[in-house]
Structure 1
Amino acid sequence: MSKPSTYRDKDDLGRPRPLSLNADSNWHSSLRFRRKRRTVFIFFSICTIIYLLLHSRWWNDVLLLADGPPSDHPGDLGTPPGPSGDREFSSAPASHNAVPVDASMKPRDPNISKFSYNGPIRFLGLYETLYKIQQYSFRLQNRHVVFVAANMNTASIIAGIACEMSQIKRNMVHLALVGRNELSIEFFKKANGLAGEGCGVVVHDGRPDYASISTDDRMGLSLKNSLKYMRDYFSPTVFISDADREPLWFQDVIARRAKELGATHIKLPKDVSTIPWLQKLDAASLAAWHKPSIDIVIHADAHSGQLVRLLKSLKNANYFTADLPRLFIDLDPDTDKSIRDFVNGFTWPSKDRLFVRHRIFSKADSFDDNPIAFTESYYPNSPDSAVLYLSPNIELSPFYFHFLFYALLEYKYSNAQPGLDKNLIYGISLDTPLRSFTGEYFPSSQLTTQSSTSDSQPSDQEELTPFFYAAPSHHATLFFGNHWRLLHLYLAKRLDKAYTQNVDYSLPTPPSKFLPSWIKYYSEILTAGGYVMLYPNYEPSESLVVYHTEKKGGRGATRDEKSVMRVNNVLNLLPEGKLPLWSDMPMLGMDGKKTKMEQLLEIAREYKKEILGQCEGVKKDDGVEDSVDDLFCGRDEVVMAKRKKEAEVREKEEETKRAEKERAEAAQIAAERQANLDPNANIRRLPPKKIEGDQEAVPHGDTPNVMGEGAGMPNHPTAMKLEEKRSDEGHQDDSQESTEKSEVDQEPAKADEGGQNLKPKVIPNKIVSLDDLERVPVEINGEKIIAQSSEDKAVPKYGSVHSSRKRRRMGGENPNADEKSVPEVQPAGDKIPPREDENNV
C-alpha cells in the first residue's frame, strides 16, 4: 500500500509534485560541479599535449618545412658538392647536413646556370642551435644581436666583430650562415676562433638543402624563413650584415625582411674598422640605430669667411652608414657675394637634405638680442629629433659624427647605464669650454678618471674623461628635441607678463654678460630641472672642434692652439677605450664646481621654491612630460579666462562706440533728408526790422518788378528776395552750392535813392526752370551768362524784357531803343548794368 501524499508532495494547485523535484538539491549541485571539473581537466590535458607536441624536436622539424613536404633525397648516386663560389673554402669539409646532389639534377648544357634547383625548402641544421637558445630565451630576451652572412669571406670578417661584442658581455651574439657554401659549421668556428669558450658566439646553420644548386629566388625565400624562425625562437632586436659584399638576392631581402619582423637592420660600412665603437653598444642602443633624426643649423654672419671652411669640413666628415643629417644654412642679408656663390655651388651628399635660407634682418638684431628668433629657427617633430647648432667660425674633425652618434646611442637609448635618468641629459657638446658659465677660466685638464671620485690632483696614469656640465655651450652643440621643445613652451610664458607678475627668475649663479640672451633663458629651465650636458675632454691636439678667430691684422689664430683630430682616435683617447658609466664621470654645476646629481636636483627644488614663493607652481600632470607649468604661478585656465573676459570687455566697448557712431550718422542723414524735403529750409529770411522797412518803402497797390523795373517804381530788395525764393523751391543743393548760395545771399542788398538794380542770383551749372533762364545768370564753364528764350512764351507779369519786345512789335516804341542795353544773350559779369525805366525813356 502506497504512502499517502502530504501537502509537501503537492504543488500550490494540489497536484502531485514530480519525483525529480523531490530529490535532494545538494546532490544535483555536486553533480553539476563534478561535470565542470571534468570538462576543465580535459581541456587543460588537451592543451598540455598540444604544447608538448609543438615544442618537441619532431614538431620543430615539421615547422622548418617552409614550402611543402620534404623531398625524397637521392641516395649515394651523386658526387660530393663542389665549390659554390667561396674558393677559399673549396677544400674544407662539407657539413654533415649537406645533401648529395643527383647527377640528373645538374644541367647538362654548360651555358645554363648551375643554380637551377627551386624545390621545397628544408633546414636540416637550424633547429639544433635554435632549440638550445629557446630554452632560456626568457632571461635574455631583447639582448639578442644576430650577424647574418651569405658570403664566407664576409662571414670571416663579421666573426671577429661578433666575438669582440660577445666578450664585452652586454649582448647575446649570434652568427647565421645563409649562403650556398656547404662548409662544415665546426670547421668554420675553428678557422675563425669561435670554437673556444672565450668567444661565446652562437653560430646557426640557416642554409637550406641543395643550397649549392638553388636559384636566387629559392635562396631569398630561404633567408626570409630562417630569419622568421630566429624571431620566433629568441626574438632578436638587431640584424647586422655587410650587405654591400653580399649577392643581390641577399641585399634585396635582408633589410625588407628585418623591417617586417619588427627588428632593426644595420648595414656595415665597407671598412668595418672605422666604427670600432659598434661592438661597445648594447642591443637596445643598436636597435635605435635609425631612430635619431639630426638637423644641422648654421647661422652665418655677414662677413664670415670661415663659413667656407666649416662647410668643407662638414662635407669631408665620415658618416659611415648612419642616416645623413639634414643641413640648414641661414644666410645673413649682408652676406658677401663670394660666400653666396660658394653656398649655391655647395653639394651635400644628399641633395634633398640641403636647405638654404635667407634672413631679412641681420643677426645682430635677432639672435643675440632676441631669444625668440634663435629659438624659432628649429622645432622638433618627434621625441627622437635633435638639432646640432654650429657656429660659422669653427672647423670640425672628420670623425666628429662618430663621437656624436656613439654618445647619443649610449646615453639616450642604452639599457647598460644603470640608474641613469635619460631625461636629465639635454644635449651633447663637441667643444670643451674654455670659460665657465660665469666667464671664469674653465679647468678641463683637471677632469680625469680620478677626479670623478676624488679631489686629488691628477697623476700621470690618469686619463682625461668626458664629463657632465649643467651650463650649455653654443659653438657646436647637439640639443635633444624634447628639451628644445621645453624652451619653446617656456619662452611663450616667460615673456608674457600675465604669467610672471611678482616673480624673480634670477639665477643662483649669475651668467656672463657675453652670453647670448637665449642661453640666459635656457639656463633658467636647466637650473629648475637639474639638467646636464655631456662634454668631451680630449687633448688640445686631438679636438673634435676648433674655434677660429680673426685678429685685427688679418692673421688667423686658433683658440689655445688647438687642432682637429685627423686620425680616428675617438675610442683610443677614452678611458678604457669606451664611454664610461655616467656614475664614474665628473659632474659640474652651473658655477663650474664639482657636484653630484642629487645635489643638482636639490638646487633645482630650492630654485623653484625661491622663484615661485608661496604659490608652489602648478602641478604637472603625470602623463605630460614636456610641460613647464610648474615654473609659473599662473594657471593656463585662469590666465585664459582673464584674457577672455578682457577681450569681451573690449569688444563691448567697441560695439558701444560703433553703435553711437551709427546713431550719429543716422541722425545726420535724417536731418539732411528733412532739410531737403522742407522747401523753406534753405530760404534765408532777413531780420524782421529790415523786412518791415522794405515793406514800408513799397507804395500800397503797386507790385515790385523782379528784375528791377516797374511802373514808376524803383528796384526793391524785397522783390529780389521773392524772386530768389521762387527759383530755389523744390531743389536740393550740395554743400558747396549751399555755401556759394549763402555767400551770395549774405551780400547786402544795396539800393540807392536813384533806384539802382540789385545783383541777380547766380546758380552754377544748374537750370531751375525755363522762366529762370530769362532772369537768373547761369555759370557755365566759369562764365556767368543770362540766356534769352527764342520762342514767344507767356512771360511773368513783371518781366521787363518780354514787355519791351511786345511794345516794340506793336510800334509803340522805337525798335532800336533797347538793342544795346538788352541783348539776346549777354555775359553776366560781377555786376549787371542797371536798366532805365521804360516810362522815363
Structure 2
Amino acid sequence: MEEDPPIIKTPKTPKTPKPQAKPDGSGTKAAADPSKPYNGPLKLPHLGSSLEAIMLETQGRMQHNRNVLFSAASLKSAALLLPMACQMATERQSYVHFALMSRSDISIKELLAINGIDKSCPLVMHGTTNSLALYCLLWSSWSCSNRESDYINLYMHPQAIIIDSSSTEESYFLSGIRDKIRDTEATLIELSEKTAQRFSWLSKLDSSALAAWNEVNLDIIIQAPQHGTGNLKRLLRSLARADLAGVSPPHLTIELPSVVEDDLTNFLNGYEWPPKVHGVAPKTKLLSLRHRIPRQKMTEEESAVRFLESFWPAKPFHSHVIVLSPHTEITSQFFHYVKYSILQRRYATIANRQHWENKLFGISLSAPTAYLDDVTPFTPPTALEGQESDVEGTPFLWQAPSSDAILIFGDKWVELHGYVSQLLEKQHASSTTPDLFAKKKVGKKHPAWLEYILQLSRLRGYFTLYPTRQTANTIVGVHTDLHDVPEEYDEEKTAEQEQDSVKLALGRFDPASHVDMLATLPHDGDMPLLYHLPWLTWDGKDTDDGAIARTAAKYTQAFRAQIGGCKDESAGLLPAAEPYARDLFCFTNGR
C-alpha cells in the first residue's frame, strides 16, 4: 500500500489588532514595566475571534491534531526560533504557529521584517500590542492574575511547544511555561542557541513525531571482545565525544568477558558515562558493567541468551536499544541521526497510518559490505524508478539484520526474547535438527544472536532499514584492522581471516568529518517513505510487501510444523501474531 504523507494547507493568519486607546483617549502605547508582574485587565477583543478561526481550521478543539507551537518572550529568542518555525511550516506537514509573548511593544509585522520573514512563509502568527497580556491570558503564569484561563490549550491543543531555554529567554516566561505544561498533554521541547543550529532536522518532523520527543528512551549494549582492548577503547572514547545536546543520555551496558585485561580495567576505572560537561551539574551515572563468571568458552546458545538478558524495555513502544560492535566508532552526529530516524520512522503520522511498526525490526546505522555469509560481496540496490534523488545511492529495506551497529525497537526485542526462549525449550526437548534449520545462514564473523534475528525476520516478514554508504560514513565507522571474532567462534578463526580483515580495513572513515548528515539525505534531509525504497529478501532478491507476506506465511507454516510442535498445519490458517511469539509454538501443557 503506497501513500504519500499528508500535505497541510496554510490557515489564514489572524490579523494583528490595532493598539487599544488608553482610558484618557491619548491612544499612545505604554510599555510594560519588566520589573513588575502584570496584573492588568485582559481586554483583547480581537484575539478571541482570531484564535477561534484558527481552532476551526486546524482542529484545535481536538486533543490530537497537527498543531505545533513555537513561542518566545525575548526578541533574541524569537530571532533564534523564527527561521526554524518558518522552515517547518514550509514542509507543510503540520500547522505551525508562532506566539510572541513579549513585554516589548514591537508589532508582529516589525518582528517578521527584522528577521527576514516575508509572506512566502506559511507560518501562523499570534501576538498583540500588549503581548504580556497575551502571555498571561494563554499561560496564567505566576506573574499574572489567577483569574485568566488557558486559551492555548482551549483553542489550539498544540502537540508540541518549542522554546529557547537559554539565558537569553525571559525567566518569567520559562518558569511559567514549564509550570503550565504539566496541565496539558503537549510536549515541551527546549532548545538553545547552540543546539538550535544543530537541530535543523527538527523542522522535518511532523506534529506526531514531535509529540514523542521526550518519550523515547535508549539503551546501548556493547559486548567486549575476549582479547584485545584497542577497539573497545576507541569506541568508548567516540561515545564520550558525541553530541548529546537535546538527547537524554542512553544507559550504557558493557558485557565483559570472564577475564578482563589490566589495560581495560584501568581504562574503565577512569571512564565516565555520561561524560562531564563544563558548567553543567553532574548527571546520574548511566554505566553498567557486567562481568561474566564462567571461564570456559561460551556456546552459541549461551552467548545468545546472555545477550538477550542484558536489556529489557520498560515501555516497549518507547524504550529501544542500540547494539554496537566493539570494532565500530561513532561521530559527533550519531545520536542526532538516531533520534531523527526513530521519531520519523516510528512516530510520524505516515508511520502510524501505514503501520510501519509491523514492518521494521530495527534500523541499521552502518552500511553492509557483504551478505550474512561474510563471503559474498554486497552491492546496494539502486533507487526505484521515479524515486531518484539528488544524492548518491538510496536507503533500502533488507530482511538481513546487522550486528555492527543497529537500533532494535523495544517491542521487537520483547518478541525476539519470547521467540528464543520458546525455541530453546523446543530444541532441548528434541534430539534431531529439523530441515528448516539444518544449515546456518549467518557466518561466524557475526555473533550467534544474529541467526535468531534472521529467523524471526523471515517468520514475521520484518525488515531492517539501511542507510546509504554516504550517510553511514557520517555517523558510524566499521573498523576491521583489529580482528574481532565473537567469543563463541574464537577458536575457529584462521590466518586467512586475519589477513582478510586487514585488506578490508576502512581507511576512508573520518570521525571528525564536517560533512552534515542531512547533506547525504535526499532533498536536504528528507527520509524517504518505506514504500518508495527498494525491498530485499534475506538473500538479496528484489521483493515487495505482498510477496514477502506470502513467503513469511509459508515459512511460518513450515516452522510451526517442524519446530513449533503444531499439528494439522495443512489448512493454512495461521493464528494472529502474538507480541511474545507464542503463536509460533504449540505446547502439550496448554501454553
Instruction: Tell me which amino acid in the other structure corresponds to 1:201.
Output: L
- Which protein shows a greater Rg? 1
Which residue of structure 1 lines up, in the alignment, with residue 86 of structure 2?
Answer: 163
CA distance in 1, matches of 2:437, 2:44: 67
How far is 1:421 from its partner?
3.0
Q: Give the one of 376, 400, 409 matched to 1:471.
A: 400
**Partner residue of 2:210?**
286
**TM-aligned CA distance change 1:225 to 1:518, over 3 Å:** farther
Q: Percent identity?
A: 28
Question: CA–CA distance in 1 between the matches of 2:200 and 2:80?
Answer: 13
In 1, Cα distance between equivalents of 2:239 and 2:132? 49
1:193 CA displacement: 4.3
For structure 2, the 5+ residue unaligned runs are 1-16, 275-282, 484-497, 562-566
The equivalent residue for 1:591 is 539
Q: CA deviation at 1:437?
A: 2.1
1:274 positional shift = 0.8
1:295-352 Cα shifts (integer Å, max 9, x gaps): 0111212422222211111011112212221111222232222211221211223333
How many Å apart are 1:221 and its aligned residue? 4.8
Conserved 8 A contact 1:542-1:563: yes
Candidates 106, 110, 135, aligned match of 1:187: 110
Is 2:184 the partner of 1:261?
yes
Describe the shift of the 1:185–1:161 C-alpha distance in structure 2 as closer, same or farther (beyond 3 A). same
Letter in 1 for 2:165: A
Deviations 1:434-488 (A, max 9, x none): 11123343434x4343xx3489xx9x97621211111111121111111111121
The equivalent of 1:752 in structure 2 is: none
Residue 267 of structure 2: which of 342, 350, 361 is its match?
Answer: 342
Match of 2:558 in 1: 610
- Shift of residue 220 of structure 1? 4.5
The equivalent residue for 1:561 is 507
1:401 aligned onto 2:335: yes
Secondary structure of the 1:485 match is helix
Q: Which amino acid is the alignment partner of residue 261 of structure 2?
A: D
Distance in 2, matches of 1:227 and 1:534, equals: 46
The one of 230, 254, 265 aligned to 2:152: 230
Contact 1:587 1:596 in 2 (8 A): yes
Q: What is the DSSP-based 3-state SS (H/G/I as helix, E as strand, rest coil) of the residue aligned with 2:408?
A: strand
Q: Normalising by structure 1, report the TM-score.
A: 0.58
Give the alignment of 1:32-51 within 5 angstroms. Answer: none
User: How far apart are residue 269 of structure 1 and its match?
Assistant: 3.6
Residue in 2 aligned with 1:439?
374
Matched position secondary structure for 2:469: coil
Which residue does the alignment assign to 1:643?
Answer: none
With over 3 angstroms needed to count, the CA separation of the structure-2 counterparts of 1:201 and 1:332, relative to structure 1, is: same
CA contact (8 A) 1:329 1:356 kept: yes
Pairing of 1:77-226 with structure 2 (within 5 A): 80-81=29-30, 114-115=35-36, 117-123=38-44, 126-138=47-59, 142-196=65-119, 198-205=120-127, 220-222=142-144
Of 351, 362, 387 in structure 2, the residue corresponding to residue 427 of structure 1 is: 362
Equivalent AA in structure 1 for residue 258 of structure 2: P
**Could you tell me whether the CA contact under 8 Å between 1:224 and 1:253 is conserved in 2?**
no
Structure 1, unmatched stretches of 5+, are 1-60, 62-70, 85-105, 107-112, 640-841
**1:76 to 1:209, Cα distance in 2 relative to 1, 3 A:** farther
The C-alpha deviation readout for 1:375-407, integer Å capped at 9, x for no partner, is 111122212111111112221111111111111
TM-score, with length taken from structure 2? 0.80
Distance 1:535 1:116, change over 3 A: closer
Residue 226 and residue 464 in structure 1: after superposition, are their counterparts in 2 closer, same or farther (change >3 A)?
Answer: farther
Shift of 1:573: 0.6
Q: Which amino acid aligns with 2:232?
A: L
Residue 482 of structure 2, aligned match among 545, 550, 553: 550
Q: Aligned pair 1:528/2:528, yes or no? A: no
Separation of aligned partners in 2, 1:223 and 1:299: 57
Equivalent residue number for residue 495 of structure 1: 424
Tell me the distance in 1 between the aligned counterparts of 2:109 and 2:573. Answer: 63
Please state how far the C-alpha of 1:235 moved relative to its aligned partner. Answer: 1.7
Query: CA contact under 8 A between 1:448 and 1:462: conserved in structure 2?
Result: no
Instruction: Write the distance in 2 (CA, Å) between the matches of 1:546 and 1:134.
Output: 48
> Aligned pair in 2 of structure 1 residues 454, 250: CA closer, same or farther (>3 Å)?
closer
Amino acid at match of 2:319: S
Deviation at 1:582, TM superposition (A): 0.9
Give runs of aligned pairs for residues 289-328 of structure 1, distance below 5 A: 289-302=213-226, 303-328=228-253
Q: Please state whether the residue corresponding to 1:572 is helix, strand or coil.
A: helix
Distance, in Å, in 1 between the alignment partners of 2:391 and 2:236 is 36
**Alignment-derived partner of residue 443 in structure 2:** 513
1:389/1:448 CA distance change after superposition, 3 Å: same
Distance 2:426 2:134 in 1: 77
Offset, 1:232: 0.8
User: What's the CA shift for 1:249?
Assistant: 1.7
**Counterpart-to-counterpart distance in 2, 1:231 and 1:259:** 12
Correspondence for 2:4: none
> In the alignment, residue 337 of structure 1 is paired with which amino acid?
D
CA distance in 1, matches of 2:135, 2:370: 68
The residue aligned with 2:3 is none
Q: Indicate the RMSD between aligned Cα atoms, in angstroms.
A: 3.7
Once residues 407 and 560 of structure 2 are traced to their aligned partners in structure 1, the CA distance between those partners, rounded to angstroms, is 30
DSSP 3-state at the match of 2:400? coil
8 Å CA contact 2:365, 2:466 repeated in 1: yes
Quote the residue 1:75 is aligned against.
24
Please state whether the residue corresponding to 2:349 is helix, strand or coil: coil
CA distance in 2, matches of 1:576, 1:336: 48
Structure of higher RCO (CA pairs closer than 8 Å, 6+ residues apart):
2
Deviates more, 1:562-571 or 1:315-324: 562-571
CA distance in 1, matches of 2:117, 2:589: 63
Q: Is the 8 A contact 1:504 1:611 kept in 2?
A: no
What secondary structure, in the 3-state scheme, does the structure 1 residue paired with 2:542 have? coil
Higher mean alpha-carbon deviation, 509-518 vs 306-315, is at 509-518
Secondary structure of 1:550's match? coil
Cα shift readout 1:65-95 (whole Å, capped 9, x = no counterpart): xxxxxx995425797446x7xxxxxxxxxxx
Q: Give CA deviations for 1:23-64 in whole Å, capped at 9, x if unaligned.
A: xxxxxxxxxxxxxxxxxxxxxxxxxxxxxxxxxxxxxx9xxx
Q: How does 1:668-687 map to 2 (within 5 A)?
A: none
Q: Where in structure 2 are the equivalents of 1:241-252 lying within 5 Å? A: 241-244=163-166, 245-252=168-175
Identify if the C-alpha distance between structure 1 residues 241 and 171 changes in structure 2 by more than 3 Å, giving closer, same or farther: same
- 2:354 corresponds to which letter in structure 1? G
CA distance in 1, matches of 2:147, 2:250: 34
| Counterpart contact for 2:224–2:256, Cα < 8 Å | yes
Residue 602 of structure 1 deviates from its aligned partner by 1.2
Tell me whether 403-412 or 414-423 shows the greater mean CA deviation.
414-423
**What is residue 161 of structure 2 aligned with on the other side?**
239
1:261-290 residue CA offsets vs partner (Å, 9 max, x unmatched): 111011114321211111111100000001
Q: For 1:285 and 1:171, locate their aligned partners in 2 and report how far apart those are by CA, in whole Å.
A: 11
- Alignment-mate amino acid for residue 478 of structure 1: L
Distance 1:462 1:393, change over 3 A: closer
- Which residue is equivalent to 2:587? 634
Shift of 1:160: 1.0
Letter in 2 for 1:355: S
Q: Is the 8 A contact 2:346 2:357 kept in 1?
A: yes
